[in-house]
Structure 1
Amino acid sequence: MKHLLLIFSLLFTMILNAQKSESDNVKAVIVDFFDAFHKQDTTALKAMVTDKIILQSISTNKDGKTVLKEDDFGKFMKNIASIPKDRTFEEKLLDFSIQVDGNMANAWTPYEFWYQGKFSHCGVNSFQLIKDDKKWKIIYLVDTRRRENCNKNSKN
């Protein structure tokens, strides 16, 4: 019985370590995505997503109604590349909550967006990823955007 418990304990530990390792790999893709985003490196961005990535944003319009906007990834890339080099922007990820099941992962990342050193808005990113050929790629990204109820403690 002791041997069975020991084997079960070792297997459980190995599973947890593998899960943690995959979570770390997913987090690395997201960190790399934002690094490329800030550098306006569209080649690197394209390498981290699937060909059929879906980009959506949820916000509230002037009338207080919820709006779901879908963006084309090609248009997103052109917009990123066209930001003048003298303009500064940073999306600061405040936390990571990552779940992995086999070849699928979800990451929830609250953020603050800063433009020209000034707070612009906050929200949450929700990433869906797929592991294909031993590499995690983003298949879906939806974010929320708001200006109220933001924790603006961070300035750097």
Structure 2
Amino acid sequence: MKKLLIIPLIVFSMTVFAQSPEETQVMKVVERVFKAMSTSDSTMLKSCFSPDAATYTLFTDKDGKPQIRQGSLQRFIDAVGQPKEDIWNEPIWNEKVEIDGPLAAVWVDYAFYLNNQFLHCGVDAFQLVKTEDGWKIFHLADTRRKENCVVPEEIKSRY
């Protein structure tokens, strides 16, 4: 009897966590951002974004006050493409994808490592639009903190 209950649970868990083909395409764009960062490929990075994409970082300052800082997509692309000895690694987990027609939102937890040194963690929140050329990021906001980071052991063990 117990064996009969296990099979439906396995099937149910596979369908709950399975991504639709559209969700898979959206996540491929997000994953390319991190691949571009780790390989210093500014061309790959630029291809993930719409030309007028906005970027923001949200954090708490030393006085505990919430802050928002608008970034520059071009500065991000340039920084990624600069020759450097250090490798930017930003593993992600807890991916959540929502899609409604041409709009997609992706929310992921991340940890940022410079080579093998942990620097900070947070959440990346992407908004994408479906274009004739595929999904493109038009808005990226991230949070950053150095404390209260709960990084999965399988990620920590890689760095």
- Corresponding residue of 2:90: 91
Percent of aligned pairs sharing the same letter:
32
Task: Decide which structure has the larger Cα Rg and report it.
Answer: 1
Residue correspondence of structure 1 range 36-75 to structure 2 within 5 A: 36-75=36-75
Q: Deviations over 1:93-126 (max 9, x none)?
A: 0121000001100000100111131111100000
Answer yes or no: is the 8 Å Cα contact 1:90–1:113 preserved in 2.
Answer: yes
The alignment's TM-score, normalised by the length of structure 2, stands at: 0.81
Answer yes or no: is the 8 Å Cα contact 1:94–1:112 preserved in 2.
Answer: no
Q: Which letter maps to 1:20?
A: S
Q: Which runs of 5+ in 1 are unaligned?
A: 1-18
Answer yes or no: is the 8 Å Cα contact 1:103–1:131 preserved in 2.
Answer: yes
Answer yes or no: is the 8 Å Cα contact 2:98–2:105 preserved in 1.
Answer: yes
The alpha-carbon deviation at position 77 of structure 1 amounts to 1.5
Q: Which runs of 5+ in 2 are unaligned?
A: 1-18
Q: Which letter maps to 2:139?
A: Y
Q: Deviations over 1:97-156 (max 9, x none)?
A: 000001100000100111131111100000000001150000000000001111133321
Whole-angstrom CA distance in 1 between matches of 2:116 and 2:77: 22
Answer yes or no: is the 8 Å Cα contact 2:130–2:136 preserved in 1.
Answer: yes
The alignment partner of 1:96 has SS state of: strand
- Corresponding residue of 1:20: 20
The alignment partner of 2:138 has SS state of: strand
Answer yes or no: is the 8 Å Cα contact 2:122–2:144 preserved in 1.
Answer: yes
The alignment partner of 2:130 has SS state of: strand
Q: Structure 1 residues 72 and 134, CA, compared in 2 at 3 Å: closer, same or farther?
A: closer
